[in-house]
Amino acid sequence: MLEELEAIHADAISAIAEMADIDGLEAFRVSYLGRKGRLTVAAARMKDIPKEDKPAAGKALNEVRNAITAAIGEKGESLQIAIDAKAAENVDVTLPGRLMHPGARHPISQILDRAVATLRRMGFSLASGPEIETEWHCFDALNTPPEHPARNESDTFYFEDGRLLRTHTSTVQIRTMETSPPPVRIIAPGAAFRRDEIDSTHLSHFNQLEGLYVDEGVSLAELKGSLEYLLRSIFGEKTPVRFRPHFFPFTEPSFEIDIMLEARGKASKWIEIAGCGMVDPDVFNAVNKARGDNAYAPDKISGFAFGLGLERLAMILWGISDIRLLIENDIRFLRQFP
């Protein structure tokens, strides 16, 4: 038995060495290890050998089977490598490549992601509100009286029931304070609508990012520090930021924020980028009235709010000359923001 196994082993190894193709190798495998293969047939005779010889014979049988299996595996691999190499010889490297078009985030989404990431690090959480709003949330609660021009039919989209498309995201300030007591620290990105004539700097449907922080002792210094940090995280660490006195009905004092921009080849100039201010006590009073308590007592708490136009941020950051490019979805334009 042992000699026979030895012979099978030797024959197999030399036959494998001479194999030149994968099909032949497979046929060889079947002829040795298959159901009627040489080794299988030899193994079947195990039952006839004397009991005391069985352990040694069994061990030898296993060794031979393992050795043949391993040799076939190795040979198969080297034959495959040869086949692959041959196939690669036929690749025509002069053919033009196939162009890949990986998708990319829209520039507005990219700006938003950056701003939200920075603000979240500063402890702000996301809030949202409806785009179809009541006059109360859009104007009255924000200390904007009935005669204010922003409420004019010609500035705002009204529905017949008196509701309207929100003209700014400041509505979310009111909704948040109506439902949660202080402290609140929220940001609300979202759509805003105005009856603006569409041109290179105006859309009737655009995107804002609102922020609100209310707690005991929130100061103007914190407003300045937070917004400087936010704007520099978007436009670069050294970007000069300035706060210019302004008026909003719902903040007092109010500011517009400008950043200094170095346009390529042109003189640097200040560009308006956001509105902000300390929440007007009348806004807290309106919220308290709606809540039916005094959670936002103007003598105990204070807060700051800000609003940024996302299209505007994108236009300034990437030097986009026409706001309409951002909604046309021309792939040649969008491809420039990978």
Which chain residues interact with ligand PHE by CB under 6 A? 168, 170, 210, 248, 251, 275-277, 305-307
**Could you say which DSSP state residue 80 is in?**
H
Query: Could you give the C-alpha distances from 66 to 9, 21, 71, 259, in angstroms and in order?
Result: 10, 22, 8, 75
CA torsion angle for 192, 157, 334, 275 (degrees, to 10)? -30
> Which of residues 32 and 208 has its CB atom nearest to ligand PHE in the complex?
208
> Which of residues 189 and 277 has its CB atom nearest to ligand PHE in the complex?
277
Structure tokens at 25: 């190798």
> Which of residues 182 and 307 has its CB atom nearest to ligand PHE in the complex?
307
> Which of residues 164 and 305 has its CB atom nearest to ligand PHE in the complex?
305
CA distance 90 to 69: 32
> Which of residues 4 and 252 has its CB atom nearest to ligand PHE in the complex?
252
> Which of residues 107 and 277 has its CB atom nearest to ligand PHE in the complex?
277
Rounded to the nearest 10 degrees, the angle between the axes of helix 107-121 and helix 310-318 is 110
Residue nearest to ligand PHE (CB): 307
To ligand PHE, the closest distance from the beta carbon of 178 in angstroms equals: 17
CA distance 92 to 94: 5
Query: Could you give the C-alpha distances from 179 to 129, 171, 284, in angstroms and in order?
Result: 12, 13, 13
To ligand PHE, the closest distance from the beta carbon of 334 in angstroms equals: 27
To ligand PHE, the closest distance from the beta carbon of 171 in angstroms equals: 9
> Which of residues 182 and 275 has its CB atom nearest to ligand PHE in the complex?
275
To ligand PHE, the closest distance from the beta carbon of 211 in angstroms equals: 7
To ligand PHE, the closest distance from the beta carbon of 317 in angstroms equals: 19
To ligand PHE, the closest distance from the beta carbon of 206 in angstroms equals: 10
SS3 65: helix
To ligand PHE, the closest distance from the beta carbon of 210 in angstroms equals: 6
**Cα-based angle 145, 147, 148 (whole degrees, multiple of 5):** 70
3-state per-residue secondary structure call for 137-156: HHCHHHCCCCCCHHHCCCCC
Asked if 320 and 314 count as a contact pair (C-beta separation under 8 A), the reply is: yes
